[in-house]
Each structure stands twice: as C-alpha cells, then as structure tokens.
Chain A
C-alpha cells in the first residue's frame, strides 16, 4: 500500500467517524433527513456499480429493496439484526443472479422494461403467497432499533459499498466492464465473458440494495407488499445517480445530497407539485448535465485525476 493511499484511508476514516457522531448530536427532523440521505447514497452508489459501466438502466432497485425488507420482516424475530441484514443481502444476490441470467443477454430497452416489471412481479408474488398460505397480507416488524441505529448501519453499508467499488475499479473485472462499456464486440473478441461479467456486477449491486432494504425495514413497523415494492424508489435512484454522474464511484454521492435536501424542501412548500418539479428536474439533468454534478466539479477543478477512481490503471 502506498503512502498516499494510506493517508487517504485515514482521512476517509475520520470523515466516517464524524458522520457516525451525528445521531448523538441531533434527532427528529435532521436525523430523519440524514437517514434518507444515507439510504439514497447507499442505493445510488450500489446502483451505479452495475449501471455505470454497463450503461444499462436498471429499474429493479425497488424489487431488491423489497426482498431485503421482507428478509428482515421474516427473520428479525429469530436472528440478530446484523445476521438478518447479511441474509437479506444473500437473498438479493440469489434473486439478482436468477434475474441476471435470464435478462442480461437482452440488450438496452428490453432490459429496462423487464426490470421495471420485476418490482411489480415480486409484489404480486408476495401478495399471492401471503394470502394463499399465511392468510394475511401484512407483517409486523417490531424491533427496538432507533433512527440513530439505522443511520449507523447505513453508514457501515456505505463504507462497504465504496470499498467494494474501489476494489472492483482496480480489478480485472472492473477493467473488463470498462471494455464492455466501450465496445461489447471487441470485449468478446478478446476473451471477456460479457454476460457473466454483467451478471456478477448485477449480483453485487442487487445484494447491496437488498441489504439497504433489510436495514430500513424497522422504519416500516408494518410491512405490506405495496409499501415494500415501491417503484417510485427505482426512478428516484436513477434520477439522483444521473444527477451526480455515473462515471465515478463518488458521483452519486454529490447527486443524492442536494437532491434529497431540495426534494424535502419542495415537498414541504409545494406538496401538490412534487412530481411535476421532479419530472422537470429530470429533463434538465438529462439535457444539461450529461456527466452529472461530479463531471462539472471535475471540470471546475481542472483535473482529471479523480476520474480514475472508478477505473484505475492496472
């Protein structure tokens, strides 16, 4: 490990520790906002692990998130919370592997449509089995975890996601994904198993999203399919990640923070118009911010150094 990497790690650890102290300093509105921001940072960064390099827009976030919520709803009575979170991640990984094997040979638009249907499919399946087998639709999630606890779990998850993303960026797999993103035909002709590489990334991304769902489950108290598999979340994740920029590991981070705060203000002052404003915002992002806020930041800094975060030289 080089000296500069070591210094960066220490700085990062200090930043994380500062954030970890947040729940001891505030509660109520600001803590809830902080949990929301942490949640979307985790979701968007996990989403970008897959959709960034492949350029495939996945709308399956809500499906994986719901799987995680149900993992907690079913398991938390019998197992410790951290174990349940890991099991939620495992369930998400298995789900993603199945879905990926079926769909990742599809290209572009077919994949998007399939993933959009996935959350709905999962919702209907869960509803069906719950009514047929268990006789009732909902599940209670009764834990004594406070918002502060959830925040700490999310913070830990974010750290794990970033470390994973950093490692992938430096690995052969990360390099393969960049080649695939540039030209799939060339990738195939130089020995890269395109479908398999995409599935591996989809599994990693899906597992992290499910873990975020498992962590957030106690907030719901009462879980039913309609609230667990909520497609709006899939779209919000795409908007925020694109706002931040998907070409760097830290891109979504700079998209989520302003978006969440602004969306919160808008919904406080114009509760009736939130969807119109988000829709217009989305159009502006797609037309004006092709490389996201992180791209603008980099240009402003006049440096291309950080671009390597996601695709470091081997």
Chain B
C-alpha cells in the first residue's frame, strides 16, 4: 500500500443521545478507490460529512496527507483539497452549468479564476459527457446531467480526495453503465475517491477495497469480494438468520 492520503482514527459523532459514528478508523491510500458501504442509517453519510467538514466531529482525528483537518471549517477543508458531491443533487439553480463548474474552482484548492477557469470548466463538462450541452439551462437538464455537472464542479476544485455520496443513486441501467465507466476513468487518471454507495454491482466492479459500517460501527474492511462474503456483513444487510 502506498502512503495514505487520508487517515481516520477513533472518529465519533454524537447527535443528542444517538451515536451516529462510533469509534471508526480507516485510511485511504493515494490513488485508491474505496467503497464505504452499509445499510441505511449506518453512518456512512455522516462519516462523509465529518470528512468534508459539513459537521464537526465529537471526537477522533482525520488527517489529510498527514496534517489534521478535524475542527477545520468546510471552506478550509476544501482549500486543503477535499471535494464532494451531495447525496441529493445540489446544483446552483441561478447559474449556468459552466458557472456551476467554475464555482468549484474559484476559492477551493484550485484557486482558478478568469478565462482560464472558464476554459477548464468547459473541458471538465466535456470530460463528464456534457460536450455540446454545457450551455443548456439547468432546468432543461435531466437528473443524470445535473449529476454530471455536480461531478464536474467537484473535479474543478483539483481535489486530492474526491467524496462521492451516492452519486449513482437513482440512475436507470443504461445511465448506470455510463456512470460506472466515468468513475472508473476518473480513478484511472489517479484520483483518490471514497464512494458511499448502495448499488452493489457498482461496488463490485469499481472498488478494490471496502469499509462496511452498521449502526455507526465499522464492522468490516478489506478486499471487496472478501468483505461482501463475510457472514457478519451479510447479516447486517439481510438480517440475522
């Protein structure tokens, strides 16, 4: 394993009396595509929110390339090099698709502005399969196209770590094939990615390694095929017995 870009140790998040993330530790190597899986309500999205700084952690540390980012604001974490998509698409409705993508790079790690930012935005929109359609109004775009714009926006930040929060949810089978190959090609270019996902086919074909959570606890970690065959993991998904 090459050097870890992200190290999480003893991460914990408590909402009132509910422990959403309970003492979770794992790390992600540079260039790795890690799947973060588990049943609904197992704390996956909360873990993503803790990494991106959307929520402050109750305890534990998160390090990005060796330096701690726990306690930093989401803006500071973005400048450090973490970019994300959101579970429910969050497109900027009052701006064009190109402006949406530019927005990803202006104040984040990329710090790109002016004609250079627009050129890069158009490149990225073409990269995610929006070539020739990047000037359509957002309201005329399909759900998958809005997801593509959101992915391009995250890529515009020049992230060292990309967080995809159920980016594949809600796609039809044809779109799913397209989306899987898109993620694969972005990963092949060297991007480090953590993806939270329910679509098992995608997990199997994309992720070399998986972390499994249930009720806030990490219950499994390892090569995808091994983890999915683990009786404890199967029990978590399908129930005991």
**Chain A interface (Cβ < 8 Å from any Cβ of B):** 172, 175-176, 178-179, 181-183, 185-194, 313-314
Known: A190-B153, A191-B79, A313-B118. A183 touches B92 (CB 8 A): yes
CB-based contact B95/A191 at 8 Å: no
Known: A188-B73, A314-B114, A314-B117. A179 touches B54 (CB 8 A): no
Residues of B within 8 A of A191 (CB): 75-76, 78-79, 106-109, 157
Residues of B within 8 A of A179 (CB): 92, 95, 103
Q: Interface centre among B94, B105, B107, B153, by most A CB within 10 Å?
A: B107
Give the CA-CA distance A49 to B74 in the complex, in Å.
26
Closest to B121 in A: A314
**Chain B interface (Cβ < 8 Å from any Cβ of A):** 52-54, 73-76, 78-79, 83-84, 86, 90, 92-95, 99, 102-109, 113-115, 117-118, 153, 157
CB-based contact A175/B106 at 8 Å: yes
Report the minimum CB–CB distance from B159 to chain A (whole Å). 10
CB-based contact A314/B102 at 8 Å: yes
Report the minimum CB–CB distance from B191 to chain A (whole Å). 17
3 closest A-B pairs by beta carbon, nearest first, are A191-B107, A182-B92, A191-B108
CB-based contact B90/A190 at 8 Å: no
Residues of B within 8 A of A175 (CB): 102-103, 106
Give the CA-CA distance A189 to B77 in the complex, in Å.
8
Contact of A172 among B75, B76, B79, B107 (CB under 8 A): B107
Known: A175-B106, A186-B103. A194 touches B92 (CB 8 A): no
Contact of A189 among B84, B99, B105, B118 (CB under 8 A): B84
A-B contacts besides A190-B157, A313-B118, 14 pairs, CB < 8 Å: A175-B103, A176-B106, A178-B94, A182-B94, A182-B95, A186-B90, A189-B52, A189-B54, A190-B75, A190-B103, A190-B107, A191-B78, A314-B106, A314-B113
Known: A182-B95, A183-B92, A313-B118. A188 touches B106 (CB 8 A): no
Give the CA-CA distance A186 to B53 in the complex, in Å.
12
CB-based contact A185/B103 at 8 Å: no
Give the CA-CA distance A176 to B78 in the complex, in Å.
14
Give the CA-CA distance A109 to B95 in the complex, in Å.
25
Give the CA-CA distance A178 to B74 in the complex, in Å.
18
CB-based contact B109/A314 at 8 Å: no
Residues of B within 8 A of A190 (CB): 75, 78, 83, 103-108, 153, 157
Give the CA-CA distance A188 to B84 in the complex, in Å.
11
Closest to A247 in B: B94
Residues of B within 8 A of A189 (CB): 52-54, 74-75, 78, 83-84
Residues of A within 8 A of B95 (CB): 178-179, 182
Closest to A193 in B: B75
Give the CA-CA distance A172 to B105 in the complex, in Å.
11
Give the CA-CA distance A178 to B95 in the complex, in Å.
8
Residues of A within 8 A of B90 (CB): 183, 185-186
Closest to B109 in A: A191
CB-based contact A186/B78 at 8 Å: no
Give the CA-CA distance A313 to B101 in the complex, in Å.
13
Residues of A within 8 A of B94 (CB): 178, 181-182
Contact of B107 among A176, A178, A183, A185 (CB under 8 A): A176
Report the minimum CB–CB distance from B235 to chain A (whole Å). 35
Report the minimum CB–CB distance from A215 to chain B (whole Å). 35
Give the CA-CA distance A185 to B54 in the complex, in Å.
8
Give the CA-CA distance A187 to B53 in the complex, in Å.
13
Give the CA-CA distance A195 to B52 in the complex, in Å.
18
Q: Interface centre among A178, A183, A191, by most B CB within 10 Å?
A: A191
Give the CA-CA distance A314 to B92 in the complex, in Å.
16
CB-based contact B78/A313 at 8 Å: no
CB-based contact B75/A194 at 8 Å: yes
Contact of B113 among A172, A181, A185, A192 (CB under 8 A): A172
Residues of B within 8 A of A186 (CB): 86, 90, 92, 103
Residues of B within 8 A of A182 (CB): 92-95
Report the minimum CB–CB distance from A104 to chain B (whole Å). 15
Closest to A181 in B: B94
Closest to B98 in A: A313
CB-based contact B106/A172 at 8 Å: yes
Report the minimum CB–CB distance from B113 to chain A (whole Å). 6
Report the minimum CB–CB distance from B227 to chain A (whole Å). 29
Give the CA-CA distance A189 to B51 in the complex, in Å.
11
CB-based contact B75/A188 at 8 Å: yes
Give the CA-CA distance A197 to B197 in the complex, in Å.
35
Residues of A within 8 A of B102 (CB): 175, 314
Closest to B76 in A: A191
Closest to A175 in B: B106
Report the minimum CB–CB distance from B160 to chain A (whole Å). 14
Report the minimum CB–CB distance from B223 to chain A (whole Å). 31
Residues of B within 8 A of A185 (CB): 54, 86, 90
Give the CA-CA distance A246 to B109 in the complex, in Å.
32
Report the minimum CB–CB distance from A200 to chain B (whole Å). 13
Give the CA-CA distance A188 to B83 in the complex, in Å.
11
Give the CA-CA distance A211 to B126 in the complex, in Å.
49
Give the CA-CA distance A313 to B73 in the complex, in Å.
28
